[in-house]
Chain A
Amino acid sequence: MTRSSSKKPTADLARLGMSASRVAQIIVDENWRVVVASAGAGRLLAREQDEIEGALLEEFVANVEVFAGCTDRECPEDGCFRQLDVNLGNATVAAEAHCERFADADGHMYLNLVLHDASELEARDAMRAARLAKLNLLNQVSEALYGAQLSLPQVLESVLIAMTAGQGLRFNRAFLLLVDERTRRLQGEIAIGPSSRDEADRIWRDLADQPTDLYEMMTSYDTSLKQTDVAVNNIVRELAVDLGDDDHILVRAMHSRRVVHVTEADTGHGLPDVRRWLSVDRFAVAPLATRRGAIGVLIADNAISGLEITELDLEFLQLFANQSANAIESSRLTEELARKVLDLRKAQQKQKEDQQTLLRMERLSVMGETSAIVAHELRNPLVAIGGFARALLRNLPEDDSNRQYAQIITEETSRLERIIHDLLDFIRPQKMMRRNLSPDQVVHEVARKMHPMLQNASVELELDLQAGDTDVNCHPGEIQQVLQNLVFNAVQAQPDGGRIRISSRYLEGGVLIQTADDGPGIATDVADKMFSPFYTTKTAGSGLGLTICAQIIKSHGGVLRGENLSEGGACFSFILPLPKSETENGD
Chain B
Amino acid sequence: MAKVLIVDDEPHLRLLYETELRRAGYETMTANNADQGLEYVETMGPDLIILDIRMAGMDGIEALQRILDMDNTIPVILNTAYSSYRENYLTWSADAYITKSSDTTELLGKVKELLDAKMVEN
A residues touching B (Cβ–Cβ < 8 Å)? Answer: 372, 375-376, 379-391, 410, 413-414, 417, 421, 424-425, 428, 431-432
Whether A380 contacts B81 by the Cβ 8 Å rule is yes
Whether A389 contacts B102 by the Cβ 8 Å rule is yes
Interface residues of B in 71-99 (CB under 8 A from A): 81-84, 87, 99
Distance, CA A413 to CA B104, complexed state (A)? 13
Q: Is B112 on the interface with A (CB-CB < 8 A)?
A: no
B102: contacting residue among A372, A376, A414, CB under 8 A: A414
Whether A380 contacts B19 by the Cβ 8 Å rule is no
The minimal Cβ–Cβ distance linking B86 to chain A, given in whole angstroms, is: 10
A-side contacts of B104, CB under 8 Å:
387, 390
With A384-B13, A431-B87: A376-B82 Cβ-Cβ less than 8 Å: yes
Nearest to A432 among chain B residues (CB) is B87
Most B-side CB within 10 Å, residue of A375, A376, A380, A421: A380
Nearest to B54 among chain A residues (CB) is A376
Q: Is B103 on the interface with A (CB-CB < 8 A)?
A: yes
Whether A380 contacts B84 by the Cβ 8 Å rule is no
With A376-B82, A388-B16: A383-B101 Cβ-Cβ less than 8 Å: yes
Q: Is B20 on the interface with A (CB-CB < 8 A)?
A: yes
The minimal Cβ–Cβ distance linking A487 to chain B, given in whole angstroms, is: 21
Whether A383 contacts B54 by the Cβ 8 Å rule is no
B-side contacts of A380, CB under 8 Å:
10, 13, 81, 100
Whether A385 contacts B87 by the Cβ 8 Å rule is no
Interface residues of B in 1-54 (CB under 8 A from A): 10, 12-13, 15-16, 19-20, 54
The minimal Cβ–Cβ distance linking A421 to chain B, given in whole angstroms, is: 7
Whether A428 contacts B84 by the Cβ 8 Å rule is yes
B-side contacts of A387, CB under 8 Å:
13, 16, 20, 102-104
Nearest to A424 among chain B residues (CB) is B83
B84: contacting residue among A382, A385, A386, A424, CB under 8 A: A424
What 13 new A-B contacts, CB under 8 Å, besides A384-B15, A384-B102, A417-B101? A372-B84, A375-B81, A376-B82, A383-B16, A383-B101, A385-B102, A387-B102, A414-B102, A417-B102, A421-B83, A421-B99, A425-B83, A428-B84
A-side contacts of B19, CB under 8 Å:
391
Nearest to B52 among chain A residues (CB) is A380
Distance, CA A390 to CA B19, complexed state (A)? 12
B-side contacts of A383, CB under 8 Å:
13, 16, 81, 100-102
A414: contacting residue among B20, B54, B103, CB under 8 A: B103
Distance, CA A408 to CA B87, complexed state (A)? 34
Most B-side CB within 10 Å, residue of A372, A383, A417, A425: A383
A-side contacts of B12, CB under 8 Å:
381, 384, 388
B-side contacts of A386, CB under 8 Å:
101-103
Whether B100 contacts A379 by the Cβ 8 Å rule is yes
Interchain Cβ contacts within 8 Å, total number:
60
- Ordered by A's residue number, 21 sampled pairs between the chains whose C-beta atoms are within 8 Å are A379-B100, A380-B10, A380-B100, A383-B13, A383-B81, A384-B12, A384-B102, A386-B101, A386-B103, A387-B13, A387-B16, A387-B103, A388-B16, A389-B102, A391-B16, A391-B20, A414-B102, A414-B103, A417-B101, A424-B83, A424-B84
Distance, CA A381 to CA B15, complexed state (A)? 12
Whether A410 contacts B100 by the Cβ 8 Å rule is no
B-side contacts of A372, CB under 8 Å:
84
The minimal Cβ–Cβ distance linking A545 to chain B, given in whole angstroms, is: 16
Distance, CA A389 to CA B87, complexed state (A)? 31
Distance, CA A331 to CA B5, complexed state (A)? 86
The minimal Cβ–Cβ distance linking B36 to chain A, given in whole angstroms, is: 19
Whether A390 contacts B102 by the Cβ 8 Å rule is yes
Distance, CA A386 to CA B81, complexed state (A)? 14
Whether B83 contacts A413 by the Cβ 8 Å rule is no
* For the complex of A and B, 3 pairs with smallest distance between CB atoms: A386-B102, A384-B12, A387-B16
Distance, CA A391 to CA B84, complexed state (A)? 28
The minimal Cβ–Cβ distance linking B53 to chain A, given in whole angstroms, is: 11
The minimal Cβ–Cβ distance linking A414 to chain B, given in whole angstroms, is: 7
Whether A376 contacts B101 by the Cβ 8 Å rule is no
B-side contacts of A388, CB under 8 Å:
12, 16
The minimal Cβ–Cβ distance linking A379 to chain B, given in whole angstroms, is: 4
The minimal Cβ–Cβ distance linking A535 to chain B, given in whole angstroms, is: 23
Distance, CA A390 to CA B104, complexed state (A)? 9
Distance, CA A129 to CA B15, complexed state (A)? 115
The minimal Cβ–Cβ distance linking A286 to chain B, given in whole angstroms, is: 76
Whether A413 contacts B102 by the Cβ 8 Å rule is yes
Distance, CA A372 to CA B13, complexed state (A)? 20
Nearest to B100 among chain A residues (CB) is A383
The minimal Cβ–Cβ distance linking A411 to chain B, given in whole angstroms, is: 11
The minimal Cβ–Cβ distance linking B67 to chain A, given in whole angstroms, is: 22
With A382-B102, A391-B20: A428-B83 Cβ-Cβ less than 8 Å: yes
The minimal Cβ–Cβ distance linking B32 to chain A, given in whole angstroms, is: 14
Distance, CA A23 to CA B19, complexed state (A)? 138
A-side contacts of B102, CB under 8 Å:
382-387, 389-390, 410, 413-414, 417
B-side contacts of A421, CB under 8 Å:
83, 99
Distance, CA A372 to CA B101, complexed state (A)? 16
Distance, CA A391 to CA B19, complexed state (A)? 9
The minimal Cβ–Cβ distance linking A111 to chain B, given in whole angstroms, is: 122
B-side contacts of A376, CB under 8 Å:
54, 81-82
A-side contacts of B84, CB under 8 Å:
372, 424, 428
B-side contacts of A425, CB under 8 Å:
83
Distance, CA A123 to CA B103, complexed state (A)? 114
